[in-house]
Chain A
Amino acid sequence: MHPITTVHYVVLSAALLLIGTAGFLTRRNIVVILMSIELILNAVNINLVAFSNHFQEMGGQVFAIFVITVAVAESAVALGILIALFRNRETVAADEINLLKW
């Protein structure tokens, strides 16, 4: 077996990013779309931590902490918006929310 290098982590991160993007673009349920965003942000964090370890430089891990902070804030606000939206429109399907669509 080959030893695990940074390349392995980069490929893993790219695969997770693509799965998250596919979920974001194809699903109708807004809750699952939010989960896909979390997957994408986690892919970024894998990359940051892998390179932080590669260069023995703490900036990558600090940046990952900020990414997690912003992700938590984002999901809190997004779920608040989602509750307000459901109260008004009684739906969670993204393609049924088309009031501004021409």
Chain B
Amino acid sequence: MATTVFFYIFAVMILGGALLTITRRNAVHAALWLVVSLLGVAGVFLLRGAEFLFVVQIMLYIGGVVLLILFVVMLVNLDSAAGQRQFNKQWWLAVACVLVVGAEVLYVIKSGVESFSLPEAAAGAASEAGSTEALADALFSEYLLPFEMASILLLVAVVGSVVMARKRT
């Protein structure tokens, strides 16, 4: 019961925040509504028993990515852009494409809705301590090589963003 209520609260946060993010004129306002949307996603992670991802979502997305976006909004002068046209000329075509894809996705989900109820397996497998321990076990044994490759990717990204952003002398 409480899960149902919280799910709908988080769903309204996610979808409302996302809609306001893509429609606000001021980029700072859009970034702040993005925070609301990402907080809703973090709540959904908590509802689905992914406690570690909940913390990562708040620390990395809200604390990292949105902060970075806000920094860039401050660095790049957006005052002139806020006064201009916000949507490009082909917006009606894009919205029509999105609506068609949405109708297709809803049709696929609706026609395949029975298959979701099949293998609700091993409900007792989740321990009371949460899923963080099992996640760490999987990450550091089965997925160790992708984990190390992710660290190389982050190193390359750090060096690359510094090279991109620095002044040519």
A residues with a Cβ closer than 8 A to B are 1-12, 14-16, 18-23, 25-29, 31-32, 34-36, 38-39, 42, 45-46, 49-50, 52-56, 58-59, 61-62, 64-66, 68-77, 79-84, 86-87, 91-95
Interfacial residues of chain B within 41-98, with CB under 8 A of chain A in the complex = 41, 44-45, 47-50, 52-53, 56-57, 60-61, 64-65, 68-69, 71-73, 75-76, 78, 81, 84-91, 94-95, 97-98
A69 CA to B31 CA, complexed, in Å:
20
The distance in angstroms between the C-alpha atoms of A40 and B47, with both chains bound, is 20
The total of chain B residues at the interface (CB under 8 A) is 90
B160 adjacent to A80 (CB under 8 Å): yes
Chain A residues near B122: list those with CB within 8 A.
56
B11 to chain A, nearest CB (A): 5
Complexed CA–CA distance, A76 and B9 (Å): 31
Give the interface of B toward A (CB within 8 A): 1, 3-4, 7, 11, 14-15, 18-19, 21-22, 27, 30-31, 34, 37-38, 41, 44-45, 47-50, 52-53, 56-57, 60-61, 64-65, 68-69, 71-73, 75-76, 78, 81, 84-91, 94-95, 97-98, 101-102, 105-106, 109, 113, 116-117, 119-123, 125-126, 131, 134-135, 137-139, 142-143, 146, 150, 153-154, 156-158, 160-165, 167
Contact B68 A79 (CB under 8 A): yes
- The 3 lowest CB-CB distance pairs between A and B, nearest first, are A23-B22, A80-B164, A25-B94
Closest to A40 in B: B18
Determine whether the beta carbon of A28 is less than 8 Å from that of B1: no
Contact B76 A62 (CB under 8 A): no
> In the bound complex, do residue B41 and residue A36 qualify as a contact, i.e. CB atoms below 8 Å apart?
no
Q: What is the CA–CA distance of A27 and B137 in the complex, to the nearest angstrom?
A: 42
Known: A7-B113, A46-B44, A58-B135. 13 other contacts (CB 8 A): A4-B3, A15-B102, A16-B14, A32-B22, A42-B38, A45-B41, A53-B49, A62-B143, A68-B56, A68-B60, A69-B154, A71-B65, A75-B69
